[in-house]
């Protein structure tokens, strides 16, 4: 399934490649690689999980169970006339994969 602005879908796992300083460089989604435009501003922030609603329990010392990491980047397919899309990515606490929150 291909995500497009006309059919926004969330929750799909994606692979994200990062630079040594931790900035996203590329997103692998649906068998294609989207290159993050380094000249366009990226946003990086954290939100908190509503742990009181999920009732997630963990052993002492497990780590941060409430911080959800987000990135918003502009990316395009590596074609001559590829159009930029805005990807909003998220990684939940203890998750090993990034997910697409939205594409516009």
Spell out the per-residue pLDDT of the chain, length 104, in tens. 444 444 445 678 999 999 999 999 999 998 999 999 999 989 999 998 776 676 666 667 777 778 899 999 999 998 878 899 999 999 988 788 999 999 99
Residue 65: predicted pLDDT: 73
**17 lies in some domain:** yes
Q: What is the pTM of this model?
A: 0.79
For the chain, give the DSSP string. Answer: ---BTTB-----EEEEEE-TTS-EEEEEETTEEEEE-TTS--EEEEEE--HHHH-----TT---SSEEEEEEEEEE-SSTTPPPEEEEEEE-TT-SSEEEEEE-
**3 lies in some domain:** no
Residue 56: predicted pLDDT: 63
**57 lies in some domain:** yes
**7 lies in some domain:** no
Q: Domain of 99? A: 13-103
**2 lies in some domain:** no
Residue 96: predicted pLDDT: 87
């Amino acid at each position: 399934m291909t995500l497009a602005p006309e059919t926004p879908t969330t929750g799909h796992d994606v692979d994200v490649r990062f630079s040594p300083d931790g900035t996203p460089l590329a997103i692998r989604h649906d068998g294609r690689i989207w290159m993050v435009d380094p000249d366009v501003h990226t946003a990086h922030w954290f939100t908190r999980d509503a742990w009181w609603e999920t009732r997630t329990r963990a052993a002492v010392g497990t780590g941060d169970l409430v911080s959800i990491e987000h990135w918003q980047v502009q990316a395009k397919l590596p074609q001559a006339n590829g159009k930029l899309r805005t990807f909003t990515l998220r990684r939940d606490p203890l998750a090993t994969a990034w997910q697409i929150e939205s594409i516009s």
